[in-house]
């Protein structure tokens, strides 16, 4: 059975959601953040040298990184669903969005989080961070338009990746200027598989970590 090394309030929630959409049985091995530092426990380093989550085990296969795990799960268990055919015109767009969620979109959010902890010392960087935030979220909003999914007409791994980005932004009320992204996020969170993943993964509050 697949094992997911799951850290509370983290990207590993994506993997639980993906597995619920795939209807693949899995076991959760739970870890809790340090209540003071909000960092992952050292015990995760016994699973992967970086000590980060998610990490997934499927027999002899051990994979870290959300995008790589989602890609593996869809290729292995998707039965042709959750990703366009590799020969289709949409496939390259799908791969781009799948990796965009961590490759570019999270950068202004992470910078805002860490620079914000510097207080006044970080103030000179805030205008640039805000500019990059607007740049990326305007790009996502325009690309999504009035559609229900980022690629094609059904859920793909790209949506699973991008929802975490929008949730992280929504903690700060940052989606108020992007109504289509806000509506999209609510629709994704209303999916039965998403709700089942929350129930299995436990309390999910990004703002608390």
* Interatomic CA distance for residues 105 and 166, integer angstroms: 9
The CATH homologous superfamily of the domain defined by 2-82+193-208 = Glutaredoxin (3.40.30.10)
Q: Looking at domain 91-191, which of 1.20.140.10, 3.40.50.12780, 3.30.70.360, 1.20.1050.10 is its CATH number?
A: 1.20.1050.10
Say what the pLDDT of residue 30 is: 87
For the chain, the maximum distance between any two Cα atoms, rounded to a whole number of angstroms, is 52
Minimum mean pLDDT among 90-99, 142-151, 184-193, 197-206: which range? 197-206
Say what the pLDDT of residue 208 is: 46
Q: Residues 114-124: pLDDT tens digits?
A: 777 778 877 88
- Where in the chain are all domains bearing CATH 1.20.1050.10? 91-191
- State yes or no: pLDDT of 142 exceeds 90: yes
- Where in the chain are all domains bearing CATH 3.40.30.10? 2-82+193-208
Say what the pLDDT of residue 74 is: 98
Compute the average pLDDT of residues 46-51. Answer: 86
Strands 2-7 and 55-58: antiparallel
Question: pLDDT class for 104, splitting at 50, 70, 90?
Answer: very high
């Amino acid at each position: 059975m697949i094992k997911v090394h799951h850290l509370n309030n983290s990207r590993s929630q994506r993997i639980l959601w993906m597995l619920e959409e795939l209807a693949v049985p899995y076991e959760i091995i739970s870890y809790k953040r340090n209540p003071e530092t909000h960092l992952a426990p050292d015990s995760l380093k016994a699973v992967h040298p970086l000590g980060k989550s998610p990490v997934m085990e499927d027999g002899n296969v051990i994979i870290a990184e959300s995008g790589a795990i989602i890609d593996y799960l869809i290729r292995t268990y998707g039965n042709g669903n959750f990703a366009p055919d590799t020969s289709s015109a949409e496939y390259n767009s799908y791969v781009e969005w799948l990796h965009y969620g961590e490759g570019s979109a999270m950068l202004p959010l992470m910078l805002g989080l860490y620079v914000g902890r510097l207080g006044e010392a970080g103030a000179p960087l805030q205008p640039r961070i805000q500019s990059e935030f607007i740049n990326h979220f305007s790009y996502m909003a325009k690309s999504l338009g009035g559609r229900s999914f980022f690629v094609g007409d059904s859920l793909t791994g790209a949506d699973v990746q991008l929802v975490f980005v929008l949730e992280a932004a929504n903690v700060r009320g940052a989606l108020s200027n992007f109504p289509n992204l806000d509506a999209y996020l609510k629709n994704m969170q209303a999916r039965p598989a998403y709700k089942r993943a929350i129930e299995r993964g436990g309390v999910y509050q990004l703002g608390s970590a």
